[in-house]
Amino acid sequence: MAGSADKVTIKIPRPLYDKLGQLIEGSGYNSVTDFVVYVLRDIASTHALPETQPYNEDELTRVKERLRSLGYL
């Protein structure tokens, strides 16, 4: 089981906490915390930063040609 060093506390307004408690009643979530963690993980995963891919040789050649035609190279 994860220790307390693996978790932090996030404070939210009590009315929001109470509303979330009502929202999750009968939904299968054990607690508001479980629900909030689920929602935040979902948001974080759908908004993950894209990994940058290095240019392949063809793309690099085209970029150099464009820069050359613009007078930069």
Domain count, the chain: 1
pLDDT digits (tens, 9 = 90+) for 19-45: 999 999 999 999 999 999 999 998 888
Residue 33 has what pLDDT? 96
- Give the mean model confidence (pLDDT) for residues 57-69: 87
Q: Give me the domain span that covers residue 54.
A: 4-69
Residues 6 or more apart in contact with residue 68 via CB below 8 angstroms: none
- Burial code of 51-60, b = ≥16 C-beta within 10 A, e = fewer? eeeeeeeeee
pTM: 0.57
Rounded CA-CA distance 40/37 in Å is 5
pLDDT digits (tens, 9 = 90+) for 49-61: 667 777 888 988 9
Residue pair 51/57 in contact (Cβ under 8 Å)? The answer is: no
Judged against a pLDDT cut of 60, whether residue 1 lies above it is answered with no
Residue 11 has what pLDDT? 94
> What are the start-end ranges of the H helices in 1-73?
14-24, 32-46, 57-69
